[in-house]
């Protein structure tokens, strides 16, 4: 038996319960994973509150990192002791251990901590599809990203800067502006004090930008 956070009805944080659950042995194509770090995402609150309805009772959490304890039949790419992380898949990351499909797990390199792995998988994949699939950012381009100091924004700023782009980012205060700049944002704009449209036009001299990422997860072309 292990401990896990579960809920049987939708509502506020008070509906979450600390329960003992049985994990069991991994089946075909599965591994038993002991969590060492768990990622928190805003969507967790939507699922818990009932905004995104789901069958109840349920576990919660979709992102974590941990150590493989046991592999089931058919699993050849992982072995006990491997450090892995995942994002997505069946809910239940808020737990000490669980059984997971092996094909959802990504081995963690030695240079990435468990905490980093648990926190960056979903945001990293979002950043990847925006700047490598939605629009392939090229050297010399200028991009604008809203919420530049958020989890996705900081990764996009670093990645786009590495690719040779000029990065403009909107933020909500001066502390976030400094954080975005430290992570590769060339032109952080505090939208609470500045007209960001006017500032973007000033920086780009009126040129249209290839891609924008906004704070609710939608990509928009200009």
The DSSP secondary structure of 131-181, one letter per residue, reads IIIIS---TT-EEEESSTTSHHHHHHHHHHHHTT-EEEEEESSHHHHHHHH
pLDDT digits (tens, 9 = 90+) for 114-163: 999 999 998 999 999 999 988 899 999 999 999 999 989 999 999 999 99
Q: What is the pTM of this model?
A: 0.80
Residue ranges per structural domain of the chain: 2-117, 135-220
Q: Which two tokens stand for residue 60?
A: 């919660």
pLDDT digits (tens, 9 = 90+) for 68-99: 999 999 999 999 999 999 998 799 999 999 99
Number of other residues whose CB lies within 10 A of the CB of residue 210: 18
Q: Binning pLDDT at 50, 70 and 90, where does residue 214 land?
A: very low
Number of other residues whose CB lies within 10 A of the CB of residue 219: 15
Q: What is the pLDDT of residue 89?
A: 78
Q: Which helix (H) or strand (E) holds 204?
A: helix 196-204
Average pLDDT over every residue of 24-53:
95
Q: What is the pLDDT of residue 215?
A: 45
Closest listed residue to residue 196, CA positions, set 210, 183, 178, 177: 177
Q: What is the pLDDT of residue 196?
A: 85
Fold (topology level) of 135-220:
Rossmann fold (3.40.50)
Q: Given this chain, do its domains 2-117 and 135-220 carry the same CATH topology?
A: no
Do the Cβ atoms of 173 and 145 come closer than 8 Å? no
Quick check: 64 pLDDT over 90? yes
Do the Cβ atoms of 153 and 145 come closer than 8 Å? yes
Q: Which two tokens stand for residue 149?
A: 């100091």
Q: State the Cα–Cα distance between residues 76 and 101, nearest whole angstrom.
A: 13
11-37 b/e (C-beta count within 10 Å ≥ 16 → b): eeeeeeeebebebeebeeebbbbebbb
Closest listed residue to residue 121, CA positions, set 146, 159, 88: 88
pLDDT digits (tens, 9 = 90+) for 153-190: 999 999 999 999 999 999 999 999 999 999 999 999 99
The domain 2-117: what is its CATH number? 3.90.180.10
Calculate the average pLDDT of the chain: 91
Quick check: 56 pLDDT over 90? yes
């Amino acid at each position: 038996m292990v401990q896990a956070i579960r809920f049987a009805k939708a509502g506020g944080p008070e509906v979450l319960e600390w329960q003992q659950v049985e994990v069991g042995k991994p089946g075909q194509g599965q591994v038993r994973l002991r969590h060492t770090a768990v990622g928190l995402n805003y969507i967790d609150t939507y699922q818990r509150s009932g905004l995104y309805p789901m069958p109840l009772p349920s576990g919660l959490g979709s992102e974590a990192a941990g150590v493989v304890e046991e592999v089931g039949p058919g699993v050849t790419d992982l072995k006990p002791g491997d450090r892995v992380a995942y994002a997505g898949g069946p809910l239940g990351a808020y737990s000490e251990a669980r059984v997971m499909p092996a094909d959802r797990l990504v081995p963690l390199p030695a240079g990435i901590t468990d905490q980093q792995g648990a926190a960056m998988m979903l945001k990293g994949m979002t950043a990847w599809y925006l700047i490598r699939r939605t629009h392939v950012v090229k050297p010399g381009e200028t991009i604008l990203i809203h919420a530049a100091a958020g989890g996705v924004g900081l990764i996009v700023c670093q990645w786009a800067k590495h690719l040779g782009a000029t990065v403009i980012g909107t933020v909500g205060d001066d502390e976030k502006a400094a954080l975005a700049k430290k992570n590769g944002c060339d032109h952080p704009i505090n939208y609470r004090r500045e007209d960001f449209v006017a500032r973007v036009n000033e920086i780009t001299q009126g040129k249209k930008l290839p891609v924008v990422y906004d704070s609710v997860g939608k990509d928009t072309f200009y």
